[in-house]
Amino acid sequence: MLRKLSVRNPVLWAWLRGGASVLVVLAAGSLAFVGVSFVGLGSSSEPVAVPNVIGEPEGRALVMLAEAGLAGHVAAHNHHEQVPHGHVIGSEPPPLMQVRTGRRVELIISGGPRKISVPKVVELTVDDAKLLLATAGFELGRVTRRHSDQPLDHVLSQSPAGGEKLARGEAIDLVLSGGADFGQLRDRDGHSLLLRRVRIVVPAGPTVQRVRITLNHRYGARDLYDRIHRPGDEILIDFTAATGDRLHVYVDDRLAERKRL
């Protein structure tokens, strides 16, 4: 019959409180130890330092934590003006803190900069457009001009358009009015000059032929081209001329073509 064991030995009592399990058999009123097994109840693993994963991509951060014996977990996504989208903003516990192996480390991942609406600057002057864009946190991008009846240096279009959502610091391209005369050339009397192109194929004939092209206008004539070619050669020439000017093409000093522009 088993009797209640009264532990009076202070050493044995310390073993039992420290997590030792003792298998005892009482036989014939005497205590016999059959086996003693020590279990480390309440004991802790070796501490490790939390790796510094701030600024790392999410995937790389999780690998770094796993290699250190820790369990990474994405706790939240927050917007951040400097940290790129998908990179770690912070961790809990923080970097370098000593923790137990297997500890869970919460990560906060950047959602990138918060996007805001692009202001509409069409029809504003370029100075007003610059001020409005800068106030909203945007940069001025490429600025070009084109012919328009709108007042000089007023915004004709923008890209991206007003109302689109972009991150602060993005560049906005503008197209401005260059005025009614923008891109137009004029002669000394104020007549408009237009860009023209002429294409000529050298006709069959001698092996080498001289091709000369002249432009006749109200002020006289000027040579546009004068070179030696072979039959079948193609000639492309860009030039400016006013309406009513005449183009003459000579092959070996013989008039081959005449055209009124």
Q: What's residue 36's pLDDT?
A: 41
Q: d(Cα 90, Cα 235) in Å, to the nearest integer?
A: 67
The predicted-structure confidence for 42-101, as pLDDT tens digits, reads as follows 444 689 999 999 999 999 999 999 999 999 999 999 988 889 999 999 999 999 999 999
- Is residue 238's pLDDT more than 90? no
Q: d(Cα 40, Cα 55) in Å, to the nearest integer?
A: 39
β-strand pairing of 192-201 with 185-186: antiparallel
Q: What's residue 189's pLDDT?
A: 74
47-110 CATH pick, 3.10.300.10, 3.30.10.20, 3.40.640.10, 3.90.1150.10? 3.30.10.20
Fold that domain 185-260 belongs to in CATH: Immunoglobulin-like (2.60.40)
Helix (H) or strand (E) holding 193: strand 192-201
pLDDT level of residue 188 (50, 70, 90 thresholds): confident
Q: 10 Å Cβ neighbour count for 105?
A: 24
Q: Please, are residues 111 and 78 in contact by the beta-carbon 8 Å criterion?
A: yes
Q: What's residue 129's pLDDT?
A: 96
Q: What's residue 108's pLDDT?
A: 96
Q: What's residue 186's pLDDT?
A: 73
Identical fold, 47-110 and 116-177: yes
Locate the domains of the chain by residue range: 1-43, 47-110, 116-177, 185-260
- Is residue 122's pLDDT more than 70? yes
116-177 CATH pick, 3.30.450.370, 3.40.109.10, 1.10.3080.10, 3.30.10.20? 3.30.10.20
pTM of the complete model? 0.45
Residue 42's identity, in one-letter code, is G
The predicted-structure confidence for 16-52, as pLDDT tens digits, reads as follows 444 443 333 334 344 333 344 333 434 446 899 999 9
Mean pLDDT in the chain? 83
Best CA proximity match to 22, nearest among 6, 11, 8, 37: 37
Tokens of 64: 């770094």
pLDDT level of residue 117 (50, 70, 90 thresholds): very high
- Is residue 10's pLDDT more than 80? no
Q: 10 Å Cβ neighbour count for 208?
A: 11
Tokens of 198: 């002429």
Q: d(Cα 146, Cα 126) in Å, to the nearest integer?
A: 14
- Is residue 14's pLDDT more than 60? no
Q: What's residue 148's pLDDT?
A: 87
Tell me the mean pLDDT in the region 233-258: 90
